[in-house]
Amino acid sequence: MSKKILAALLLSLATAPALAADAQTRARALHERFPVLDTHLDTPANLARPGWNILDHHHYDEDGTQVDYPRMVEGGLDGGFWVIYTAQGPRTALGNRQARDFGLQRLAQIREMVAANPDKFELATTPEDAARIKAAGKRSVYISIENAYPLSADPSLLTAYYRLGVRMLGLVHTSNNDFADSSTDPKGPEWNGLSPKGRELVAQANRLGIVLDQSHASDAVFDQLIELSRAPIILSHTASHDLNAHPRNLDDARIRKLAAKGGVIQVNSLSGYLIPTNRSPEYSAELRALFAGYGGRQGLKPEQYKEVMAKRRALDAKYGIRQATFDDYMKHILHILDVAGPDHVGLGADWDGGGGVAGLEDVSQLPRITEALLQAGYSEQQIANIWGGNLLRLLKQVQDLADPAALAEL
């Protein structure tokens, strides 16, 4: 090794800690300057957990939760879209009514959380709200629907949801429903994209100025939304198919089409979408049985959590399950940034819905992403756009394209 190379190596080793510390400081400072938003917070599912309070500081390794007010402050997360998620159930008159009631109950829980903590949270419905709420020292609560199942009994309920604050709609989850095909239904496509009822719902969302979310839907649904929606669409929590060929992910060609139409893809951090994790049907069945033995995930008491997680780790070891790392997540973010461009990418990590990776277990660690983006050469303005600017631009476009006559009737 030459003396010059050796000297350069020693200098880089000596300055590395200082550079890392500088990136950490800059990242923290940036989170104070612009709205930092995530488009897929499944945290509302925790609001009804026995003894769980969003104002308490929880720990991922103790109760498995990833978002609460203290950790939002630590990680500089200003809020985002809080999700009304409804698991797909029977597509019967009774099942549809139960889904209708469940969705409205979850919406009420979100609004009650905001109403109970007016000094810390505020309902947000317009793009301008994000900066105003941040300046007031509070966290933004935009509301989204994941899976339109609660609308099956009566799609016109979307207007009521809009009145109560919903501004994003995901049509489907892991199984086909009355509106669209899922990317992961084991039975395959039912509608070859959108159903007639789904096309009507798309038009209704456009009229109201509700953002359409393609995440979980099939590629055919993506192609049809791109053509049918008169406003740009979003993928609130999706990763790269070219890096990990999971049917839930989006390929580069479609990512480019999304960007060309003004859309935004928010990158998911769920391990199974980032890397092949070796999950098998047998493993999934045992995992479901494990949680069912404790009354389901949402029924877990804090004192049971460590016991259940120990059993899950043993199950993971038995089947050789892999967990994605922070580096795996950043590979997807950087790849999608390269494909779509920094004006069409954001973050939707699927917090409290299965997201999180080794090294990024909860929202208190979010500045790590900003540090990595700085080190990758992205400018502060580009990072501001990734963390919320692109989302808010899209929200404004969607709302500007709404039908004034439809809104006047509300």
pLDDT of residue 21: 65
* Residue 171 in this model has a pLDDT that exceeds 90: yes
In a domain, 28, yes or no: no
> What percentage of the chain carries pLDDT values higher than 90?
86
Mean pLDDT of 388-407: 97
Rounded to whole angstroms, the Cα distance separating 410 from 407 reads: 5
Q: pTM above 0.85?
A: yes
Give tens-digit pLDDT for 348-369: 999 999 999 999 999 999 999 9
Residue 24 lies in a domain: no
Q: Which of 44-58, 155-169, 388-402 has the lowest mean pLDDT?
A: 44-58
Of the candidates 248, 221, 247, 249, the residue with the CA atom closest to the CA atom of residue 233: 221
Q: In this structure, what CATH number is given to the domain that contains residue 355?
A: 3.20.20.140
> Do 104 and 244 have their domain in common?
yes
Domain with 302 in it: 278-321
Let me know whether 133 and 257 are in one domain.
Answer: yes
Residue type, 94: L
**pLDDT mean over 153-166:** 97
Asked if 148 and 292 sit in the same domain, the reply is no
**Residue 309 confidence (pLDDT):** 86
Given this model, what pLDDT does residue 16 score? 47
Considering the domain architecture, whether residues 308 and 169 belong to the same structural domain is answered as no
The total domain count for the chain is: 2
pLDDT in tens, 318-350: 999 999 999 999 999 999 999 999 999 999 999
Q: Does residue 4 lie in a domain region? A: no
Strands (E), 98-249: 121-123, 139-146, 166-170, 211-213, 234-238
In a domain, 10, yes or no: no
| Shared-domain flag, residues 151 and 184 | yes
Residues in CB range of 319: below 8 A, 6 or more apart: 278, 279, 280, 282, 283
Q: What is the pLDDT of residues 18-54, one digit of tens each?
A: 556 677 899 999 999 999 999 999 999 999 888 899 9
Average pLDDT, the chain: 94
Would you say 130 and 392 are in contact if contact means Cβ atoms under 8 Å apart?
yes
Whether 1 maps to a domain, the answer reads no
Q: Are residues 167 and 300 in the same domain?
A: no
Same domain, yes or no, for 372 and 251?
yes
Q: At what angle do helices 219-228 and 196-208 cross, to 10 degrees?
A: 50
- Mind listing the pLDDT tens digit for each residue in 66-90? 999 999 999 999 999 999 999 999 9
Residues 160, 190 share a domain:
yes
Rounded to whole angstroms, the Cα distance separating 189 from 247 reads 12
Whether residue 361 is contained in a domain is answered as yes
pLDDT at 388: 98
111 and 242 share a domain?
A: yes
Residues 297, 230 share a domain: no
Q: Are 83 and 42 in contact, with CB atoms under 8 Å apart?
A: yes
